[in-house]
Amino acid sequence: MMFYVIIGEDRAGTLDQRMAARPDHVARLQALQAQGKLLLAGPCPAIDSPDPGPAGFIGSIIIAEFASLDAARTWADADPYVAAGVYEKVTVKPFKKVLPA
């Protein structure tokens, strides 16, 4: 098993779709967490604020453990934000956790 970083970049003007798909998106992340595979996950606010309000978000970052790069890509492709048209681009890369040890 290895960690992979999943970077989802939001399409402009999709805050409503993001909020509608969020419960299903979070449920998948909670499932990874319950399996002990989630290192971190969260959105990237569009402005310098933890609560960007109507400015929304520009994407998300997820770092989780998967059996392979293909498995990570398959999981990322099935994200509710992809199905809802929120993510314009999704990048999946191997990630080596060094710190904190």
Nearest to 40 by CA among 78, 9, 7: 7
pTM recorded for the entire structure: 0.95
The helix (H) or strand (E) run that includes residue 31 is helix 15-34
Q: What is the pLDDT of residues 27-53, one digit of tens each?
A: 999 999 999 999 999 999 999 999 999
pLDDT for the residue numbered 1: 86
The mean pLDDT value of the chain amounts to 97
Q: Is residue 63 over pLDDT 90?
A: yes
**For residues 4 and 62, what is the distance between their CA atoms, to the nearest angstrom?**
8
- DSSP annotation of 13 reads T
